[in-house]
């Protein structure tokens, strides 16, 4: 065997640099990328004195397994695509950890928001990385997108409701108008959100019943969120007193009953208003604020009980419906009078 003169190390480095530049040039084809990489590797090994081994390795790496479109698939190309996928996954993990640290440094304590941002970032990075890998492998992304569009149309007709709930789930994850732990009212029912999926949301009622709500119902219908920005919730209770009552005493009794409750928000004063003059009572309304809308029915019951005792201690009568009945003279008396006149 004739000994070969090792090339200058700078020449080998230049060869590797050309390979890296070709890997990011979108105008180069996967065939050129694989060939340049294998040629550069062979040149480097020959420079290290392994001419025969380099030739054998070059033949193995450039062996055409099959052809995908116009691109010959070789072990070198497969290794390159695998490296790109692993690199994309690694980059996604690094960026997700960076996002988590950035959120913590800015005082974001909502774990749900952090998880959603990390998940969307992972999907976006993996979509880009897999797209580049498939393009390197020779798969036409244009044809793939066209086939996906046709497939999506067909699936859309067959699975319209599922697709609708899926899109609604993405909207909820992005907008974050509803999140786990929120107390919301959906279709007249107050529930607490337990967890949110991409298609459905699991919630618990005040009767401790777990229900599954389609995400489309949360997006397309009016939803009351009692804990969106301000957790304060108004508790209202109405009561009617007799017309003979002293209205100043009634107001003071109702105010004392409202202020006696420990769960009320002290920063908000109770509101006592005379709401109406009823048919048999003077109607009042008492309003308090609580920071726990979930137990507001129990708190309303406690307020009613406090009002009852306050009015009773002050001798004020809680009115009840009354009906006065007036009797007209008997009809027979009129007929008897006519008969006597005749």
Tell me, what's the pLDDT at 221? 87
Average pLDDT for 63-80: 74
Tell me, what's the pLDDT at 108? 57
Q: What is the pLDDT of residues 97-129, one digit of tens each?
A: 988 887 777 655 566 667 777 888 888 888 888
Residue 316 predicted with pLDDT over 90: yes
Tell me, what's the pLDDT at 68? 65
Average pLDDT for 81-103: 87
Do 24 and 37 touch, CB atoms closer than 8 A? Answer: no
Q: What is the pLDDT of residues 231-274, one digit of tens each?
A: 899 999 999 999 999 999 999 999 999 999 999 999 999 999 99
Residue 25 predicted with pLDDT over 70: no
Average pLDDT for 157-181: 78
Q: What are phi and psi of 187, to 5 degrees?
A: 55, 45
Highest mean pLDDT among 21-35, 54-68, 101-115, 185-199: 185-199
Average pLDDT score over the chain: 78
Residue 186 predicted with pLDDT over 50: yes
Where does the pLDDT of residue 9 fall: very low under 50, low under 70, confident under 90, or very high at 90 and above? very low
Tell me, what's the pLDDT at 293? 92
Q: What is the pLDDT of residues 280-289, one digit of tens each?
A: 899 999 999 9
Q: Rounded to an integer, what distance in angstroms lies between the CA atom of residue 104 and that of residue 271? A: 41
| % of the chain surpassing 70 pLDDT | 69
Residue 7 predicted with pLDDT over 50: no
From residue 167, alpha-carbon distances to 53, 118, 174, 200, 204 in Å are 55, 18, 11, 11, 23
Average pLDDT for 273-296: 93
Average pLDDT for 40-64: 61
Q: What is the pLDDT of residues 127-164, one digit of tens each?
A: 888 888 877 777 666 766 676 677 667 666 666 777 78
| % of the chain surpassing 90 pLDDT | 34
Tell me, what's the pLDDT at 140? 67
Q: Which alpha helices (DSSP H) does the chain contain, by range?
A: 9-24, 30-47, 51-61, 75-105, 111-137, 141-158, 160-175, 215-220, 247-259, 296-313, 331-341
SS3 of 309, please?
helix
Contacts of 290 (CB under 8 A, 6+ apart): 232, 233, 235, 263, 264, 265, 296, 299
Query: Closest by alpha carbon to 277, among 248, 300, 298, 247?
Result: 247
Q: For the chain, which residues make up each domain, given as ranges?
A: 9-62, 78-158, 171-225, 233-313
Tell me, what's the pLDDT at 314? 93
Where does the pLDDT of residue 294 fall: very low under 50, low under 70, confident under 90, or very high at 90 and above? very high
Average pLDDT for 84-102: 88
Q: Which fold has domain 233-313?
A: Alpha-Beta Plaits (3.30.70)
Average pLDDT for 6-34: 47
Q: What is the pLDDT of residues 187-230, one digit of tens each?
A: 889 999 998 877 888 999 999 999 999 988 999 888 999 988 88
Tell me, what's the pLDDT at 53? 67
Tell me, what's the pLDDT at 55? 64
Tell me, what's the pLDDT at 295? 93
Whether CATH 2.30.30.60 fits 171-225: yes
Report the half-sphere exposure of 296 (CA within 13 A, side-chain side): 21
């Amino acid at each position: 065997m004739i000994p070969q003169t090792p090339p200058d190390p700078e020449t080998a480095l230049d060869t590797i640099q050309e390979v890296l530049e070709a890997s990011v040039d979108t105008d180069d084809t996967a065939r050129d990328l694989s060939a340049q990489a294998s040629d550069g590797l062979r040149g480097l090994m020959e420079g290290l004195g392994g001419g025969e081994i380099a030739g054998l390795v070059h033949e193995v790496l450039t062996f055409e397994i099959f052809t995908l479109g116009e691109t010959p698939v070789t072990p070198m190309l497969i290794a390159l695509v695998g490296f790109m996928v692993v690199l994309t996954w690694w980059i996604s993990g690094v960026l997700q950890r960076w996002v988590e640290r950035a959120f913590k440094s800015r005082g974001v304590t909502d774990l749900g928001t952090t998880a959603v941002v990390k998940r969307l970032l992972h999907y976006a990075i993996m979509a880009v990385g897999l797209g580049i890998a498939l393009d390197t492998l020779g798969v036409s992304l244009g044809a793939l997108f066209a086939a996906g569009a046709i497939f999506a149309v067909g699936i859309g007709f067959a699975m319209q409701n599922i697709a609708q709930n899926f899109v609604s789930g993405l909207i909820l994850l992005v907008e974050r108008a509803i999140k786990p732990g929120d107390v919301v009212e959906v279709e007249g029912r107050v529930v607490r959100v337990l967890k949110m999926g991409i298609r459905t949301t699991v919630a618990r009622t005040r009767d401790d019943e777990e229900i599954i709500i389609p995400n489309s119902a949360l997006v397309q219908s009016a939803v009351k969120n009692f804990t969106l920005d301000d957790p304060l919730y108004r508790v209202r209770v109405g009561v009617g007193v007799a017309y003979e009552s002293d209205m100043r005493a009634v107001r003071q009794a109702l105010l004392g009953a409202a202020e006696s409750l420990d769960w009320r928000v002290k920063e908000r004063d109770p509101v006592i208003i005379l709401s109406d003059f009823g048919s048999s009572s003077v109607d009042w309304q008492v309003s308090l604020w609580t920071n726990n809308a979930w137990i507001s029915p129990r708190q309303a019951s406690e307020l009613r009980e406090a009002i009852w005792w306050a009015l009773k201690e002050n001798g004020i009568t809680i009115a009840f419906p009354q009906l006065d009945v007036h009797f007209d003279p008997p009809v027979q008396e009129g007929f008897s009078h006519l008969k006597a006149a005749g």
